[in-house]
Structure 1
Amino acid sequence: MSKKILTAIKSFSNKPLRFLVNTHYHGDHSGGNENMTKAGATIIAHDNVKKRLEAKQRDGSFNPKEALPVITFNDKLNITINDETIAVFHVANAHTDGDALLYFTKSNVLHTGDTYFNGRYPYIDINSGGTVNGYIEAVKRGLMVIDEDTQIIPGHGKLSNKEDYKRFLKMLEALRTNIQKEIDEGKTEDEVKANTSLTKTYDDLGFGTGFINSEKIRLTFYKSLREE
């Protein structure tokens, strides 16, 4: 996708590419790092993103240094570009352990990374530090900085707005309530996996049509809430 992204950037600006922020470490959000570095970008990411990109990858290889973040942060940082402050802030243990949201203060645009899947069930990567409760808190954090006019760029899905974002939070909280009740009643993983009533309301609205279907989201919530 790197060439397509660079072509799209050139369609509205002939200025050089200077910064790129990885919202987390997954390959669909960081796989073009090396290409973007060669195009002139300085890569910025949370500390944990750099740690994961520095480590041995699933295929046994290591990323080249050009693919690694140059600037990292622990909690938050501000970048000023074209007289606009962009607030970059970490949300802990949400989609992964290294998620960042970006808020463009003058343009009134929020980029959520994969802490928001518009109209779909989210992928919560438990094996990479993600948690249900942290994910819900990340959405609440995002809602705190926006207003009714904010344009929201989700990690997956169409351009969004506050109303859609609030609907997404309502879905997450409803699923947490339903599945936590099952856990409190001693239900097993297999019982929760098979109980389609737990997600039916949102299945009917099409939330399970993406990468994460209704069965997967029930299992994710069950495993995460049991651990938490």
Structure 2
Amino acid sequence: MRNSIKTLLALLFINHSLFAFQDMSEVEIEIIPVNENVFMLKGAGGNIGVLTGEDGIFMIDDQFAALSTKIKAKLKTIDDQPIKYLVNTHHHGDHTGGNSNFKKDGTLILAHENVRKRLRADSTKVNGLPIMTFNEKINLHINGNDIVVTHVHNAHTDGDVLIYFPQSNVLHTGDTFFNGMFPYIDLKSGGSVDGDIAAARKGLSLINDNTKIIPGHGKLATKSDYQDYLKMLETIRDKINAAIKEGRTETEVVENESITKEFFSDEKAKDFFINGQKIRKTFYDSLKK
């Protein structure tokens, strides 16, 4: 009976969250200047990155379809150039939901080949498929930046990329970096704990102490924030690997708050998208051989 009540409450919470998540009428798009011609846009979903200049607007991710008009209007306040280029950091709907709306305007959409494959499998998303894909790495030369787009394997998903603007000294990590919270590692879409750790290490190898970092979710970040994130991933991984070697069950690991408490208590993380129990389960499922 107790488990049934818990299940019912969980379903009610999920349904309420989905309803709230789909109602975008009150969402405001906020522009956060990163430097002279790079901006971060926050609204609902993943953080958007924008590079402005004479070559046209270069955008990273586009949140949800219902926000496209608001995003376009907000961009007009900083640059009247057309949105010519759009890179998807991965396939999730809070990063690709507006693809079809921007594609109708003639925006060229680029992504890793696995992003196109996953979007193509959903009949509701075929109108927003990337028209250019790549495998490991691609270089783009836009608005005075030699942009480096690098695939990181099996991290948050199987199609993640890091996007580095060397001249502007800005890195966009997509959802391989959640700043100030536990990460969401989508195991069903090819993500893995070890891959997410490798992605953070790769990202850190690209930057310096002065780099500004646009995470997939959370506030604009510094190298120190990114290092703290990597430390969290590595520490939780090591603790759960040790628990697995000791023969601890999934339930024991999931209920053991001490594994993650030094970063966020379960009370602190209760309102995170991924709370303490969820992150411990994700790590256990990914690491258990």
TM-score bracket, shorter-length normalisation = over 0.9
Query: TM-score of the superposition, structure 1-length normalised?
Result: 0.94
Letter in 2 for 1:178: K
Q: Deviations for 1:151-187, whole angstroms, at most 9, x for unmatched residues?
A: 1000000101101000011111110011000001111
2:83 aligns with: 17
What CA distance in whole angstroms lies between the structure 1 residues aligned with 2:100 and 2:273? 26
1:35 to 85, 101, 110: 101
Q: Aligned to 1:201, what secondary structure does the other structure show?
A: coil
Question: How far is the alpha carbon of 1:44 from its aligned partner?
Answer: 0.3
Q: Is the 8 A contact 1:103 1:111 kept in 2?
A: yes
- Over residues 163-215 of structure 1, what are the superposed CA-to-partner deviations in whole Å (9 max), with x where a residue is unaligned? 10000111111100110000011111111111111111112494564200000
Corresponding position: 1:125 with 2:186: yes
Aligned residue for 2:174, secondary structure, equals strand
Q: Can you list the C-alpha shifts for 1:49-96, whole angstroms capped at 9, x where unaligned?
A: 0000111x3xxx4423x3000010000001111221110010000000
Residue in 2 that maps onto 1:5: 71
Kindly provide the amino acid, as one letter, of the partner of residue 275 in structure 2.
Answer: N
Matches for 1:1-228 after TM superposition, within 5 Å: 1-55=67-121, 57=122, 61-64=123-126, 66-204=127-265, 206=268, 209-227=271-289
Stretches of structure 1 that go unaligned for 5 or more consecutive residues are none
> Is contact 1:202–1:208 with CA below 8 Å preserved after alignment?
no
CA contact (8 A) 2:257 2:265 kept: no
Q: Which gives a bigger RCO, structure 1 or 2 (Cα 8 Å, sep 6+)?
A: 1
1:116-141 Cα offsets, whole Å, 9 max, x none, are 00010000000000000000000000
Find the aligned partners of 1:174 and 1:21 in 2 and give their Cα distance.
32
Q: Provide the C-alpha distance between the structure 2 equivalents of 1:83 and 1:203, rounded to a whole number of angstroms.
A: 40
SS state at 1:121 partner: coil
Cα distance in 2 for partners of 1:207, 1:77 equals: 37
Deviation at 1:39, TM superposition (A): 2.4
CA RMSD of aligned residues (A): 1.3
- State the distance in 2 between where 1:209 and 1:101 align: 27
Question: What TM-score do you get using the length of structure 2 for normalisation?
Answer: 0.74
Mean CA deviation greater in 66-75 or 198-207: 198-207
Partners in 2 of 1:186 and 1:167 — Cα distance?
29
CA distance in structure 1 between the partners assigned to 2:81 and 2:184 by the alignment: 35
Q: Secondary structure at the match of 2:125?
A: coil
Unaligned runs of 5+ in 2: 1-66
User: Contact 2:157–2:185 (CA<8 Å) still a contact in 1?
Assistant: yes
